[in-house]
């Protein structure tokens, strides 16, 4: 699996720069994204928890408490904490099985949070998760035991990043209008291609992989309904071919992947309205 995804940073930044800022899209109060009328949801235990323990000094790095749903500001604080922890001792990074990591990679909550944010905040959250994802990924080569966490963060990042097109091209008319704005169109083409690359890379094991291939497939299954609508038909076929290497994945996960990647499955307006442009961009990327 590719350990770095710098393209995700570029695409998110391009989208941020190209996203219009209408009155209704002005930044909301950060605390509005933290639920106050209901108790905190429990992070979803989608993977068998490891025996990782919670380092006792995470708070000293500024890590938010894991006993409540995180707001956008909390994820920003977590990014700063993870950055500081990695610089001091990457063995202290939160691991699968710990409350903090479960909170940080909670796909269900991230979807809810992403839906409550203004466009520029959503792009910022994508960049925040992208940074955390890269910090873990950069260390997999020397610490292969972090591969599971990197895969789980890949899923978390996809859950958020795939919501970005709704801020710019929610309908086919919105997507077609991009043809008259070259810079925004290029940013969206780059963004969509980056989503495909991340999906494909997630299914490619690290050179020093210590996990069964099925683990990556099960992580992708958690967010395939978010990502598949942004894939071209030929990309869905390519990903379905990769599923042949999903040894050990549950039958439920494989069925979910097959359903979402079927040629007749829903396609996002950004894709259906601009198929020719996406294929042309894809061809230029293949030549580089």
Residue 71 pLDDT:
97
Name the token pair of 121: 């905040």
Residue 286 pLDDT:
86
Contact 216, 149 (CB under 8 A): no
Distance (Å, whole) CA 216 – CA 15: 28
Distance of CA 150 to CAs 89, 202, 224, Å? Answer: 17, 9, 17
Contact 73, 47 (CB under 8 A): no
Contact 149, 136 (CB under 8 A): yes
Residue 61 pLDDT:
94
Distance (Å, whole) CA 44 – CA 261: 24
Phi, psi values for residue 71, rounded to 5°: -90, 180
* Residues in contact with 62: Cβ distance below 8 Å, sequence separation at least 6, in sequence order: 77, 80, 81, 84
Residue 6 pLDDT:
46
Contact 191, 15 (CB under 8 A): yes
Closest CA to 227 of 277, 127, 160: 160
Residue 48 pLDDT:
46
Closest CA to 253 of 60, 57, 46, 14: 46
Model pTM? Answer: 0.84
Spell out the per-residue pLDDT of the chain, length 288, in tens.
Answer: 344 454 454 445 545 444 554 444 344 444 444 444 444 555 554 444 445 667 668 999 999 999 999 999 999 999 999 999 999 999 999 999 999 999 999 999 999 999 999 998 998 999 999 999 999 999 998 999 999 999 999 999 999 999 999 888 999 999 999 999 999 899 899 999 999 999 999 998 888 888 998 999 999 999 999 999 999 999 999 999 999 989 899 999 999 999 999 999 999 999 999 999 999 999 998 887
Residue ranges covered by each domain of the chain: 6-287
Q: What is the number of other CB atoms lying within 10 angstroms of the CB of residue 167? A: 19
């Amino acid at each position: 699996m590719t350990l770095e995804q710098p393209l995700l940073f570029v695409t998110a930044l391009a989208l941020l720069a190209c996203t219009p800022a209408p009155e209704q899209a002005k930044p909301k109060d950060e605390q509005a994204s933290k639920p106050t009328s209901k108790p905190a949801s429990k992070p979803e235990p989608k993977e068998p928890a490891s025996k990782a323990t919670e380092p006792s000094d995470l708070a000293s790095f500024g890590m938010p408490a894991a006993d409540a749903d995180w707001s956008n500001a909390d994820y920003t604080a977590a990014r700063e904490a993870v950055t500081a922890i990695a610089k001091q001792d990457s063995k202290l990074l939160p691991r699968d099985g710990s409350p903090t990591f479960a909170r940080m990679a909670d796909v269900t909550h991230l979807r809810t949070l992403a839906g409550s944010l203004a466009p520029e905040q959503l792009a910022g959250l994508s960049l925040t998760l992208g940074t955390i994802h890269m910090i873990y990924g950069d260390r997999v080569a020397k610490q292969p035991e972090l591969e599971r966490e990197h895969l789980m963060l890949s899923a978390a990042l996809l859950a958020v990043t795939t919501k970005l097109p709704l801020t710019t091209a929610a309908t086919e008319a919105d997507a077609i209008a991009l043809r008259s704005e070259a810079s925004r169109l290029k940013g969206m083409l780059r963004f969509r291609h980056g989503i495909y690359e991340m999906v494909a890379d997630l299914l490619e094991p690290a050179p020093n992989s210590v996990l069964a291939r099925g683990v990556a497939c099960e992580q992708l299954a958690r967010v395939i309904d978010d990502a598949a609508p942004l894939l071209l038909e030929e990309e869905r076929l390519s990903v379905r071919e990769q599923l042949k290497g999903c040894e050990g994945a549950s039958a439920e996960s494989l069925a979910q992947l097959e359903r979402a990647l079927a040629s007749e499955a829903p396609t996002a307006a950004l894709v259906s309205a601009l198929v020719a442009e996406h294929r042309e961009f894809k061809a230029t990327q293949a030549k580089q």
